[in-house]
Amino acid sequence: MAIQASADELQAFMSGEFPQATITVESVDESEAWVRQPVDESHLRPGGTVSGPTMMATADTAAYVVVLSHIGIVPLAVTSNLNINFLRKPESGKALLAKGTLLHLGRRSVLTEVNIYSEGHLEKPVAHAVVTYAIPSSHKTT
Residue 139 domain-assigned (yes or no): no
pLDDT of 138 strictly over 90: no
- Record the pTM: 0.93
> Percent of the chain beyond pLDDT 90?
78
40: containing domain? 7-134
Residue 90 domain-assigned (yes or no): yes
Q: What gap in Å lies between CA 33 and CA 102, rounded to an integer?
A: 9
Across 51-63, average pLDDT: 96
Residue 106 domain-assigned (yes or no): yes
CA-based torsion, 15, 18, 22, 27: positive or negative? negative
| Whether the Cβ atoms of residue 66 and residue 118 lie closer than 8 Å to each other | no
| Whether the Cβ atoms of residue 52 and residue 45 lie closer than 8 Å to each other | yes
Residue 61 domain-assigned (yes or no): yes
pLDDT in tens, 94-123: 999 999 999 999 989 999 999 999 999 999
Question: CA dihedral defined by 81, 113, 116, 30, rounded to 10 degrees?
Answer: -130
SS3 label, residue 14 = helix
Across 26-37, average pLDDT: 94
Question: H or E element: which one contains 67?
Answer: helix 52-71
CATH code: domain of residue 73: 3.10.129.10
Residue 18 domain-assigned (yes or no): yes
Instruction: Provide the number of structural domains found in the chain.
Output: 1
Residue 13 domain-assigned (yes or no): yes
